[in-house]
Amino acid sequence: MLRSILETLFRWLVRNSVFIVLIPLYRWLAIRERFENGKKSLVLFPQTKNKKKVLALSAEEYRGDLEVLASLKGFRIFTIDRKWQTRLITCFYSRNLQGQPGIVARHYNANSISDPKIYEAKRFAQEFMSKFLGHLYRCLPIDVVLLYNVRYLRDLDWAEVSKKLGIVYLVIFREAMVLTSDTFESFSRRHREFGRFKGDHIVVSNLLLKRCFIEPGFANEKEVTVGGILRVDGLIKRLDEQKPEVPPPLVTMFWWSVHLFEGQEFTRLTTEAIEAFAELAMVNPGVNFIVKPKPIHVRPTKYINRKMKFRKGPSSFFQLKEFGNRQIDIEKILDRVYPEWMIVGNISIEPWLDAHYLIMKSRVICAFNSMTMFESALAKKPVIVPYFDYFRESINSSKYGYHEFLDIFDVARTKHELKTLIEWRLSDNVIEPTVQERREALFSSHVSDLSSGSSAARVGALITDLVKKNI
């Protein structure tokens, strides 16, 4: 009831352009400054000389990239979370309209004759945003508006209007991997449907992704730069500073969603992988085992909620409720296979631990469908993939994107073989030089280009140049 009243009040404030309330609300409550250490604070003194001020939209989605930008000399990073943007656009695009298939393509190609409904919604939204952002940017000057993708409605009007107000509209594209021809065609088709890029520049992580923007005509050669992945700089720095392993040895499983593929074969694979992990932990009390899911891939149990209370950063409680309840209950499997797991303490579920930290600390990595497989490979770690025979023989195996890269990993064909490979790699984790050479070449071509040095330096120089040209 209260939520409904507040939503109605907010909609009235927006529809009536009550900027005397809206501007302080967004200036002081919605927008924060992000620092290199990940901490956030109010933006008390926004007008800093000789510093480029970047406002990152949908700031939850950058996974460490904003901290890298904040570490650059001459930059300040301001952020706004997607919920604040969604509240604004919902005043112009109904939730029903937002949920319609193709809504983003319709927004890009809005036409008063062929699609008057979206055209009018966009016109009203941008008329409001022009006044709203005009007031906001006077008290919070911005040089660059940053997006992590080109396909989310909540970002588009904010970015397009910012560009009209003289702000650089930049995208650091966060969908990093094109592993198959189907993925390449899917990206290209989507960008072809969007028509033409409305911003200034797009940064992608590798040449394959650059082609996904240029070949469909969404952007031209000069509008897309291969800049690598910002957070990979941090991984490379950790590799350069790597210290000897401290016992006890650690095995990390980068967990995956049970909904990656339909069918009982994948559900069985997912369950058996955790069972194997628990069985190994039970007979190896001197080895630590960590299951690392994304927060949205775990059920909000008492165990997980306790961990959430002690973590730094914003709560993920609502994400846990919305998505986690659809996942396999990892705790139930651990309880069934290894009843003393909480008492012994050598296996745990850690949704919020930093992935790069775990890669560096682990002797062995287990994963199925994650960029951490390539990052772990770059770090010269053994990576074991539970690609069991019954899934390999199922109809879903043709959709698995890592087929052509399995030669750089250790592949387990059965649950028993998964346990055997992990035990072997605990005692012998050396990677053959020829395999490591192929790992690094694939990382550069399919994940993050390593050929031109620091990603942060390249992106920082690009932003500086864009701002200079925009003055």
Nearest-5° angle of CA 376, CA 381, CA 384?
85
Q: Would you call 40 helix, strand, or coil by DSSP?
A: strand
Q: How far from chain centre, in Å, is Cα 25?
A: 27
Task: Give the residue among 470, 457, 462 at the shortest CA–CA distance from 168.
Answer: 470
- The per-residue pLDDT for 318 is 42
Residues 374/377/378/381 CA torsion (nearest 10 deg): 140
Tokens coding 141: 């000057």
Tokens coding 246: 């401290």
- The per-residue pLDDT for 317 is 45
Q: Are strands 383-386 and 410-412 parallel, antiparallel or unpaired?
A: parallel
Q: Would you call 221 helix, strand, or coil by DSSP?
A: helix
Burial class, 301, CB count within 10 angstroms (exposed 0-12 / middle 13-18 / buried 19+): middle
Place of tokens 């339909």: 262
Neighbours of 257 (CB within 10 A): 17
Residue 453, by phi and psi: left (phi above 0), alpha (psi -120 to 50) or beta? left
- The per-residue pLDDT for 176 is 61
- The per-residue pLDDT for 321 is 47
For 286-343, write each residue's pLDDT tens digit. 999 999 998 888 777 777 777 766 565 444 444 444 454 567 889 999 999 999 999 9
- The per-residue pLDDT for 362 is 97
Q: Where do the domains of the chain lie, and which CATH numbers do they carry?
A: 2-229+451-470 (3.40.50), 237-446 (3.40.50.2000)
Cα distance between residue 456 and residue 131, in whole Å: 34
Cα distance between residue 354 and residue 372, in whole Å: 11
pLDDT in tens, the chain (471 residues): 788 898 899 999 999 999 999 999 999 999 999 999 989 999 988 888 889 999 999 999 998 899 999 999 999 999 999 999 999 999 999 999 999 999 999 999 999 999 999 999 999 999 999 999 999 999 999 999 999 999 999 999 999 999 999 999 999 998 867 888 888 999 999 999 999 999 999 999 999 999 999 999 999 999 999 999 999 998 998 888 888 877 899 999 999 988 889 889 999 999 999 999 999 999 999 999 999 998 888 777 777 777 766 565 444 444 444 454 567 889 999 999 999 999 999 999 998 899 999 999 999 999 999 999 999 999 999 999 999 999 999 999 988 999 999 999 999 999 999 999 999 999 999 999 999 999 999 999 999 988 878 899 999 999 999 999 986
Cα distance between residue 148 and residue 209, in whole Å: 14
Backbone angles phi, psi at 314, to 5 degrees: -70, 155
Q: Would you call 430 helix, strand, or coil by DSSP?
A: coil
Burial class, 241, CB count within 10 angstroms (exposed 0-12 / middle 13-18 / buried 19+): exposed
Tokens coding 98: 């937002």
The β-bridge partners of 384 are 366, 410
For 72-119, write each residue's pLDDT tens digit. 999 999 999 999 999 999 999 999 999 999 999 999 999 999 999 999
Residues 153/158/164/166 CA torsion (nearest 10 deg): -140
